[in-house]
Amino acid sequence: MGNALMNFTINGQSVEVEADIRSSLLDLLRNSLGFTGTKKGCDQGACGACTVLVDGERINSCLALAVQYQGRSITTVEGLGIDGALHPLQQAFVEHDGFQCGYCTPGQLCSAVGMAGEIERNIPSVVTADLAADSVAIDERELRERMSGNLCRCGAYNGIIEAISETLVKTPASSQERVRA
Ligand code: FES
Ligand code: FES
């Protein structure tokens, strides 16, 4: 085993990097490419701190083998805002006290944006009552279940849910993630 030259699209930019072929996507982002906004918590898929978007869907980057994500569109927290402005959800986190230490926040943000896409695609959760409905009814219980993979040791859950409710549930998910060529 050794290094290999790999190509990725990250936050709309093509990047080429030589890295250990065994690197997780999380380690590649942080250690090889300097996208340190994505955090390492448990490194085993249990906390959600490492959540990023791949083609608009949320994944735990600590469990992803980087080499398999070449050619996909990867979005990290650094790529959520547009032209230096905060993403509306980032602004809502500030206004609703959706964080304390902020360690879980990048993962919460990416996860929530991905979750909004799942709602828009009418994907049910384990607590969805009516699986035959044309659209999933989103209430606090739904949001808490759908965000349950993102832990916050500071317990900022109330602010997080308020921020998501105010921002993503009222705005089409398709307008939440920056559209990239
Ligand atoms: S660091 Fe990936 S889920 Fe915890
Ligand atoms: S804000 Fe500290 S872990 Fe969530």
Q: What is the pLDDT of residues 20-43, one digit of tens each?
A: 999 999 999 999 999 999 999 999
Range of the domain at 56: 3-79
Asked if residue 78 has its Cβ within 6 Å of ligand 1, the reply is no
Give pLDDT tens digits for 78-129: 999 988 899 999 999 999 999 999 999 999 999 999 999 999 999 999 999 8
CATH code, domain carrying 113: 1.10.150.120
- Is 115 within a domain? yes
CA of 8 to the centre of ligand 1 (A): 21
Nearest atom, ligand 2, residue 108 CA? 4
Nearest atom, ligand 1, residue 40 CA? 1
Q: What is the value of pTM for the model shown?
A: 0.92
Q: 146 and 98 in one domain?
A: yes
Q: 115 and 49 in one domain?
A: no
What is the side-by-side order of every strand in the sheet holding 73-75?
13-20, 3-10, 73-75, 51-54, 57-60
